Amino acid sequence: MAEPILVAKDLVKHYPIKGGILRTTTGQVKAVDGVSFELLKGETLGIVGESGCGKSTLGRLLMRLEEPTSGTLDFDGIDMYAQKGAAMRKLRRDIQIVFQDPYTSLNPRKTVGDIVGEPFDIHPDVVPKSGRRKAVQDLLDLVGLNPEHINRYPHQFSGGQRQRIGIARGIALNPKVLICDEPVSALDVSVQAQVVNLMEKLQTELGLSYIFIAHDLSVVRHISDRVGVMYLGKMVELGTEDEIYERTTHPYTQALMSAVPVPDPTLRGKREQIVLQGDVPSPANPPAGCRFHTRCWKMQEICKTEVPEFIDRPDGFQGHRSACHFPEVLVATGAEVDSDLPGGTSSGDGATRASEGQGGLGGLLHKVADKVGLGDDADDPNRQSARTFKPRTGDSDSVADARAAADNANRQQGW
């Protein structure tokens, strides 16, 4: 198993709220409030969550662009927050960042050559001055840009090309870790795929480790080895890609997964979705106990008073970390539900619930429907009691029949 290169322990970042004539501190915005995780060498760790949950602040803490309120961060065995001056500047070579917005993260007054070559000016011992132009051209070629465009300005490039410039700047010093703060959220879908494929290629060639911050669950699943889910400044679940997407135990993660759009048009409108009631509480005044309890359908009295431990929870296999007093293990596969079977059980492996009670995601959604009112037929015993997160793949005959019927109807109307 690979060794950890980045180890965060109880990272906290509180921003003071000042008011009055004397600008006294009246409160704290708890942007990051006790986050712990490890990043292994050569691994991609995805960080997901709603806007305002602290993802970008966490990324800046890992870069030490923000000083933490408390907590420790070990980078390759070195305490990053204890470094100063030249030692910290040298350490920054090994951990770089790609910013979210490819338009505002590039200086419009500088050429691409100056932007990508700026790290060499800050760290002059990396590349000799006589060889910097050639090094910048090699970087542009590595990220899929024309080296001859070294004298162009950022406004002369498209959004995807600008993000490639940002990536070239990020890898200029040959870092060990690259923090990617929503690097594809401002790009078109087709361009997103190109940038993600480029990042995977660079990881293989350069041996990079990624912290990939995003809100697009499909992109995170494609690129990540492990995924961490944040809510209101805390990490609520952390596990491998399969553990988070197939055997999630935290109700917030389950709600996120149920909101993922279904790519199969034949299933649209048929899958139930967990609709959370209310808004996300303010990070300046987070709820006591479990921070998710104000929107959770499993909430009980203990959730209002005691903070759940972020520990391994059983998931039917080896288990993974989750912060919930009442975790429910869901096993979701690509098998389709056969509603004709007794109780709505699956004809394949299906989505099953490892804890006691009705099986599968449908059993969970049945409870949610009673709690938050997902439909008038929530108590209908004939509704399906199991669902899957993934689109079905073994339904080619019905899809072909539907297409044939559509073609026949079009021919009859002369289309």
Q: Where is average pLDDT lowest: 114-118, 219-223, 355-359?
A: 355-359
Sign of dihedral through CA atoms 238, 239, 241, 242? negative
**pLDDT at residue number 413:** 46
Q: How confident is the model at residue 376 (pLDDT cuts 50, 70, 90)?
A: very low
Find the mean pLDDT for residues 230-258: 92
Find the mean pLDDT for residues 35-48: 95
How many angstroms separate the CA atoms of 399 and 407, rounded?
Answer: 12
* The Cα angle at residue 207 between residues 202 and 209, in degrees rounded to 5: 90
Please check the confidence at residue 410 and state whether its pLDDT lies above 70.
no
How many angstroms separate the CA atoms of 4 and 395, rounded?
Answer: 43
Q: Which residues pair with residue 212 across a beta bridge?
A: 46, 180
- Distances in Å between the Cα of 47 and the Cα atoms of 159, 203, 214, 223, 234 are 23, 18, 6, 11, 11
Structural domains of the chain, with CATH: 4-224 (3.40.50.300), 249-396 (no CATH)
Q: How confident is the model at residue 172 (pLDDT cuts 50, 70, 90)?
A: very high
Find the mean pLDDT for residues 293-298: 92
Other Cβ atoms less than 10 A from the Cβ of 302: the count is 13
List phi, psi (to 5°) of 414.
Answer: 75, 20
**pLDDT at residue number 354:** 35
Q: How confident is the model at residue 116 (pLDDT cuts 50, 70, 90)?
A: very high
Please check the confidence at residue 48 and state whether its pLDDT lies above 60.
yes
**pLDDT at residue number 140:** 96
Other Cβ atoms less than 10 A from the Cβ of 42: the count is 16
Q: How confident is the model at residue 371 (pLDDT cuts 50, 70, 90)?
A: very low
Helix, strand and coil percent figures for the chain, each rounded to 5? 35, 20, 45
> Virtual CA dihedral for 316, 319, 321, 324, nearest 10 degrees?
30
Q: How confident is the model at residue 342 (pLDDT cuts 50, 70, 90)?
A: very low
Please check the confidence at residue 305 and state whether its pLDDT lies above 90.
yes
> Virtual CA dihedral for 392, 394, 395, 396, nearest 10 degrees?
120
Please check the confidence at residue 358 and state whether its pLDDT lies above 80.
no
Find the mean pLDDT for residues 221-235: 95
